[in-house]
Amino acid sequence: MSADTLIAPLHGLANTLGTGVLPAGGPLPNTAKAAAASHRAAADAEQGARSLSGSWTGRGGDAAARASSSASRRHQRSATANSSSASIVETASTRVGQAAAEVRRLVDSFAKAASSLGPAIHSIEGLMALLPVAIDHVARGVATVVKAQGELASDAAKLLADSRHTAPKPVPAPVDHQRDGDGHHGDGRHGDHREGDDKKDASLAITLPNGRVVYAPNARAAKAVRAALSQRGVPYVWGGTTPQGFDCSGFTQWSYRQAGLEIPRLAQDQDEAGYRVDQAQVQPGDLAVWDGHVAMIIGDGLMVEAGDPVQVNPIRTTNLDQGFQGFYRPR
């Protein structure tokens, strides 16, 4: 046994911990550049929206201004996420560097204690005298590393939280099944089975989970709604695009893909797949689009969405703190 043997665990901790110095050419500089570029793009898009609203009137101008504002919000979210990620990584690097410096200080401290013994360090008596010092230094080194691990776990959780979309929680809403004199729902819901529906094209008919029969505006929308309803109960998975797990936009994209229509991947972009409709005119297959969420209207005042799990809820226009873009009919 030697002094080096006594302090070997501390050297092992130092080697495992590393230095905390990020490698040259790593992703951090590019992340910072991406954040700056996104900030500039957001500002340009917002300026474009203001210019359009003042110089281009009518429905076309309004649509162009909304598109520019939506692009600005997307770029701003990207910039915020990139800046936050870069900051978290830099903080984590600093934590590792500080922990590594403390472990090195403990190694140096032990070396001085061993050196102070002089020739006695080569004797059993000297090593026995040095053993409590080694135990103390190793224990302090372990405590330093455990603390750093806890802080890094917190940093990793923040990094993951910045990059994920939260599965929406159902928002309770009153459901009024009373009809007006025309056979429509009083809250503007359409698609119910009414007198004369038996003459409608059966390919457009959709049987809802509550047993009611509604009619889609076209066969493609009907297929998309049926596909969506077939996935009720599938768990929410961030980034999920298959029946093994869906996120909100992956779910609506998959549903329309079964009907032969490819729509954009991101929720906030799926309004580009169609045209805007008023809430009073929504029909099965229409999409309710927020800045970071999307759901599919199925009729009878209901919509289906990839919550956790895929589920049917009353139509709403609120979702957490996200801005509502409107209702859109894919085409």
Which active-site residues does the annotation give?
A: 248, 293, 305
Q: How far apart are CA 263 and CA 253, in angstroms?
A: 6
Fill in the amino acid letter for 203: S
Give the CA distances from residue 48 to residues 72, 75, 77, in Å, rounded to whole numbers and listed in that order: 9, 13, 18
Residue 157, class by beta-carbon neighbours within 10 Å (0-12 exposed, 13-18 middle, 19+ buried)?
A: exposed
**Residue whose pair of structure tokens reads 């070997």 in the numeric block:** 8
Q: What is the full DSSP assignment across 61-79?
A: HHHHHHHHHHHHHHHHHHH
Exposure string of 75-101, with b = 16+ CB inside 10 Å and e = fewer, is bbebbebbbbbbbbbeebbebbbebbe
> Given its phi and psi angles, is residue 191 left (phi above 0), alpha (psi -120 to 50 degrees) or beta?
left
267, 264, 236, 231: which is closest to 249 by C-alpha? 267
Give the CA distances from residue 137 to residues 5, 16, 85, in Å, rounded to whole numbers and listed in that order: 13, 17, 35
CA pseudo-torsion sign 107, 110, 116, 119: negative
Q: Which residues contact 173 (CB under 8 A, 6 or more apart)?
A: 313, 314, 315, 316
Preceding peptide of 309 cis, ω within 30°: yes
Q: How many Cβ atoms sit within 10 Å of the Cβ of residue 186?
A: 11
